[in-house]
Amino acid sequence: MRVLLLSKACVVGAYQKKLEEIAKYDDVVLTVVVPPEWRDERGTLRLERAHTTGYDLRIEPIALNGHFHLHYYPRLGRVMREVQPDVVHIEEEPYNLATFQAMRLARRSGASTVLFTWQNLRRHYPPPFSWMESYALAHADVLLVGNSEGVDVWQDKGYDGPIEAIPQFGVDPDTFCSIARPTRQSKPSILLRRSARRPSREEVVIGYIGRLVPEKGVDVLLEALAQLRGPWDLRILGSGPDQDRLEKMAQWLGILPRVSFDVPIPSTQLPYYYSGLDVLVLPSRTMPNWKEQFGRVLIEAMACQVVVVGARSGAIPEVIGDAGLTFAEGDHADLRAQIQRLLDNPALRYDLAQQGRQRVLDHYTQSQVAERTVEIYRQVAESTA
């Protein structure tokens, strides 16, 4: 079974582990198309080569790079003719031009199509995006969604074909735990742009990893920490247009000496960063055009036995389950109360750390995601045959 997978997300080295796991199956010959880089509000993310064994990684130029809806691959038709896939797996939203391009080429070659989407809000788009979305929904053999809310959204939009809730990526538990917990006090200085004071052994190190944009709710976290009792330290890893405002807010709240803003690092170095945390907070808030679709940092932290606290927003409670704490979206007082519980109760921190690790092993490993994905490939290939 020849599979062609199209995914700009796989420029991230850690994500490529899923590709290696898929390629381990004897009945799968995998070709993956990625661009040499992807641009967004955080800057340029260049291709990381971390897990490239067992499959053919094709680096293809991308037109309109940075335009989420309008980018496409000018040479994708040539790749399709060379590979002659039985299954085309498209990890792009149904309303994107890259999806429409790949769907048309797949149908022309007689290949089955598997389409992945994160969308968990029922949004309506003007033409031509609505037309491309309708075409994708009419012709996809299987729709994969990253969260359970997405199932309802796409069925409400009229999709009546097979649909499965499978995360786009899991984590490699060996990579994310083997170096995760032994030396919390040692944090490589090369990771930092501005370092706060080094935490003492009694301090609980709280972290946030992600984009610095209003919808991620980092301001809620800062407000929560301003009146927290006990020793703590906050490390924020990320970049984005909200950074200056957040730095000024930390200064105004009087907590800037306890906060470090750290520059983004390659995905392969993230386990080292998690090793310096005790608690990870994802304080996302729902916006009219966005809702948290998964929160990958949650499963990465849980794999590293870092306790997670998340807003009851979008897919966050679904991912955490009973292996962490949640708080009312946007409620800094509730978030403060949950973090205070963790500061006051080391035994609770230990128990949740173990539960989080086990939840990842039960549900969110790269090998599990790959196994479920390959089963989908087999089903659509058999159906087409």
Q: Is the pLDDT of residue 194 over 70?
A: no
CB 329 within 8 A of CB 285: yes
203 pLDDT band, cuts 50/70/90, is confident
Among 89-93, 101-105, 176-180, 239-243, which stretch is predicted with the lowest mean pLDDT?
176-180
CATH number of the structural domain spanning residue 80: 3.40.50.2000
C-alpha distances out from residue 6 to 18, 85, 368, Å: 13, 12, 20
Distance CA 91, CA 100 (A): 12
Both 231 and 345 in one domain: the answer is yes
Q: Is the pLDDT of residue 202 over 50?
A: yes
Both 230 and 346 in one domain: the answer is yes
Strands across the sheet with 112-117, in order?
56-59, 29-34, 2-6, 87-90, 112-117, 142-145, 163-165
Both 329 and 182 in one domain: the answer is yes
Tens digits of per-residue pLDDT, 18-51?
Answer: 999 999 999 999 999 999 999 987 789 999 999 9
Both 218 and 278 in one domain: the answer is yes
Q: Is the pLDDT of residue 278 over 90?
A: yes
- Percentage of the chain beyond pLDDT 90 is 88
Q: Is the pLDDT of residue 119 over 70?
A: yes
Supply 291's token pair. 């809702």
CB 154 within 8 A of CB 116: no
Q: Which residues of 257-284 are buried (b: 16+ CB within 10 A; e: fewer)?
A: ebbbbbebbebbebbbbbbbbbbbbbbb
Both 256 and 291 in one domain: the answer is yes
Tens digits of per-residue pLDDT, 305-333?
Answer: 999 999 999 999 999 999 999 999 999 99
Distance CA 171, CA 266 (A): 15
Q: Is the pLDDT of residue 364 over 70?
A: yes
Tens digits of per-residue pLDDT, 57-83?
Answer: 999 999 999 999 999 999 999 999 999
Q: Degrees (nearest 5) of the Cα angle 376, 45, 219? A: 95
Tens digits of per-residue pLDDT, 211-248?
Answer: 999 999 999 999 999 999 999 999 999 999 999 999 99
What is the crossing angle of helices 97-109 and 76-83, to 10°?
Answer: 30
CB 284 within 8 A of CB 216: yes
Q: Which domain holds residue 103?
A: 2-170+365-384
385 pLDDT band, cuts 50/70/90, is low
Both 114 and 245 in one domain: the answer is no
177 pLDDT band, cuts 50/70/90, is low
Distance CA 173, CA 21 (A): 13
Instruction: Kindly calculate the radius of gyration of the chain based on its CA atoms and give it in whole angstroms.
Output: 21
Q: Which residues contact 217 (CB under 8 A, 6 or more apart)?
A: 283, 284, 285, 311, 313, 329, 330
Domain count, the chain: 2
The pTM of the full predicted model, rounded to 2 decimals, is 0.90
Both 90 and 202 in one domain: the answer is no
The pLDDT of residue 189 is: 33
Mean pLDDT of the chain: 92
**2, HSE (Cβ side, Cα atoms, 13 Å):** 13
Q: Is the pLDDT of residue 2 over 90?
A: yes
Both 194 and 343 in one domain: the answer is yes
193 pLDDT band, cuts 50/70/90, is very low
Q: Is the pLDDT of residue 196 over 50?
A: no
The pLDDT of residue 268 is: 86
**84, HSE (Cβ side, Cα atoms, 13 Å):** 1
Both 155 and 251 in one domain: the answer is no
Both 284 and 218 in one domain: the answer is yes
- Average of pLDDT values for 290-295? 95
The pLDDT of residue 186 is: 36
Q: What is the dihedral of CA 298, 302, 305, 311, to 10 degrees?
A: 50
Both 275 and 356 in one domain: the answer is yes
Both 255 and 225 in one domain: the answer is yes
The pLDDT of residue 73 is: 98
